[in-house]
Amino acid sequence: MAEKAKEAAEGMDARWYRAIGSGIWSFLNSLKLTIFILISLAVTSIFGTAIEQNAPIEQYIADYGETWGKLILYANLNDMYYSWWFRGLILFLAVNIIVCTLERFPPKWKSLLNHKQERFEPRLIEKFAHHESLSLSASPEAVRDRLLQVLRKKRFGTVTSGGGGEFFIYAWKGRIGRLGSDMTHISLLLILLGALLGSIYGYRSTVFMNVGNTIDLKNENFMLRLDKFWIDYYDTGHIRQYNSLLTIVEDGKEVLQKQIWVNEPLHYKGIKFYQANYGLSWNKLEEAQIVFRRKVDDGTEISFAAKWNTLVDVPNSKYSVKLIAYTADFAYDEENNLVYSKSENPENPAIKIEVYEGDRLISSPWLFLNYPGIFPAIPDSDVDLVYTGHRGTWFSGLQYSRDPGTNVVWVGSAVMGIGFIMAFFIYHRRVWIHIKGGGQSTEIKIGGTVNKNTFAFERDLKEITGSVSSNERP
C-alpha cells in the first residue's frame, strides 16, 4: 500500500514536473514572447541613448537629483548595454530563438522532404485560397502535357500520376525559401556568440604617444613605436587626414612598419591599432624660445631656441642649454614632490632646462611662460634666461583592440544576408492540378498555396491557366 502511494506520489511529481516543464517550454516557444522581447529591447535601448553612459557617478546625482540619480545607478542605466538585465533580455531572446527553432525546424524539414503528393483528393483543390476551374475542349492528355510544359518552363518541379483520362499534377517551387527564417535566426545566434566571445576574450584600450615613443603593450609580447605623426590638409584648410607611422618591435627587432590613418588600421597578431585621436602634446615640445638677458653691462637680449634633449650653445656666452621637460598646465604635488600637468591645455606652460657652463651642470630651473623672470634661471649670476614661447609636438591617440569574436560576427552577418534572400525573395509555391476528361470536354481544377507574396502567385496561376485556355480560341 505504502509503496503504491509512493509510486503514485512519484507519478504525481513527474507529472507536476512535466506540466511545469511543458508550460515553460510553450511559453518560450511563443511568437508573442518574441514580439514582447523585441519591443522590450527597443524600448529599453532608448534609455541608453537618453541617459549618458559611463559618466562619473556624481554627474548622475548632479544632473537628475538624488532620487532619480540613485535610481539610474541602481538600475545600471549608466552602463545599460552591459548591465545584467539587458544582457538577460538578449539571452532571453536567444533562448526564445533556440526553442522556436527546435520546435519548428524538424517538422518543417520533414514536410519539405516528403512533400510530393502524387494522388490527392480533387475536392481539396477548391479549399485553397487561390483556385480556379476550367472546362476545355482539348483532350486530357494534351492538357496535361501542355500544363507540364508550362510548369517546367516556369521552373516548377512536378510529379504526375493517373491515367485513363484522369490525371493528377503536383508542382512546387522555392522550397528552400522556407528555410530562410531559420537561417536568419541561426545567424542572429552566431552574431550574439561573436559578441560574447569578444566580451570575454577581447579588450579595447587607448594610448597617447609622442613621436619617438615606444610603448610596451599590456597582455602582448611586442612593443609599438610611433615614428611620425602628421596632418594632411585640403587647399581650403579643412583637415583631410591624420596619419601615424607605426613600427612593431618584437624581441628587439623591427618586424613591421605601416602608415595608419582613420579608416586604415594596422593589424598585427590579432590586434588592431587605430588612429583615434591627436593633439598638441602636454608633456613634450619640439623647441622652446628663450631670451638670454644680461642684467648688467648693456642689458643685451638675445633670443634662441632650446631643443628637446639636445644641448645648444647660448649665443655669445659661455653657457649651453638643454630642454628636458614640459608641462602644459603646471601643477606641483607637494606630498610626493611631483610636477604634473593639470590638464592637456596650455593653461600654465612651464619648461625645465638644464644650464651648463662648459661640461658642468650649474642649474636646472623651471621657467614659466606666464610668469617670466619669477625665479632666476641661474642663481647668483648676472644673466637670466626667460621662456617666451615654444613650438609644440603632436601626440597621436591610438586605440588598440583585440576582438576574437569579430570574424564570427561577420560569418553571422553573411548567413543573415543569405537567410534574408531566402526568406524574403524566394517564395514556396505549391500547385495541385486535377484533370478529368469526360465526353466532349476536359475539366480542370487548379489550386495552390504560397507562403508569401500572394500577388505574384496569383499572376503565376493566371499564366498557367492562361496557357491552356488560350489554346482554346483559335
Partner 1 sequence: MILSLVFFTFSFIFYILATTAYAGYWVFRKKWIGQIATALAFIALGSTTMVLISRAGEAGHGPFSNLWESMVLFVWATNAGYLMMEYRYKFKAIGTVVMSIMTLAMLAASLLPYRYKDVTPLNPALQSKWKWMTSLLSKWDLQNYAIGWLDFHVVTTFIGYAAFAISFGLAILYLLKNRYEARQQQVKLLDAFPDSKVLDEMSYRAVAWGFPFLAVGIVSGAIWANYAWGGYWSWDPKETWSLITWFIYAAYLHARVTRGWRGKRAAYLSILGFAAVIFLYWGVSFILPGLHAYA
Residues near partner 1 (CB under 8 A) are 31-32, 34-35, 38-39, 41-42, 45-46, 48-50, 53, 81, 195, 204, 234, 236, 238-242, 261-265, 272, 274-276, 399-401, 403, 406, 409-410, 413, 416-417, 420-421, 424, 452-455
Closest separation between CB of residue 425 and partner 1, Å? 8
Closest separation between CB of residue 101 and partner 1, Å? 14
Residue closer to partner 1 (CB basis): 117 or 406: 406
Residue closer to partner 1 (CB basis): 130 or 284: 130
Chain-centre distance for alpha carbon 7: 55
Output 44-51 pairs: Cβ under 8 A, ≥24 positions apart.
Answer: 44/80, 44/86, 44/89, 45/81, 47/77, 47/80, 48/77, 48/80, 48/81, 48/86, 51/77, 51/78, 51/80
Residue closer to partner 1 (CB basis): 326 or 400: 400
**Do residues 465 and 152 make contact, with C-beta atoms less than 8 angstroms apart?**
no
Closest separation between CB of residue 328 and partner 1, Å? 24
Q: Extract the C-alpha cell encoding 242.
A: 591624420
Are β-strands 441-450 and 312-313 bridged in parallel, bridged antiparallel, or unpaired? unpaired
Residue closer to partner 1 (CB basis): 82 or 340: 82
Residue closer to partner 1 (CB basis): 364 or 399: 399
What span, in angstroms and rounded, lies between the C-alpha atoms of 24 and 110?
25
Closest separation between CB of residue 87 and partner 1, Å? 13
Closest separation between CB of residue 327 and partner 1, Å? 29
- Residue 230 buriedness (CB in 10 A; 0-12 / 13-18 / 19+): middle
Closest by CA to 229, choosing from 208, 211, 249, is 211
Residue closer to partner 1 (CB basis): 218 or 360: 218
Chain-centre distance for alpha carbon 380: 64
Identify the sign of the CA torsion 114, 118, 123, 126: positive
Q: Extract the C-alpha cell encoding 165.
A: 483520362
* Cα distances (Å, whole numbers) of residue 110 to 106, 176, 422, 431, 451: 6, 13, 18, 19, 17
Residue closer to partner 1 (CB basis): 190 or 314: 190
Closest separation between CB of residue 39 and partner 1, Å? 5
Closest separation between CB of residue 204 and partner 1, Å? 6
Core vs surface per residue 292-315: b (16+ CB within 10 A) or e: bbbeeeeeeeeebebebeeebebe
Closest separation between CB of residue 249 and partner 1, Å? 22
Residue closer to partner 1 (CB basis): 109 or 203: 203
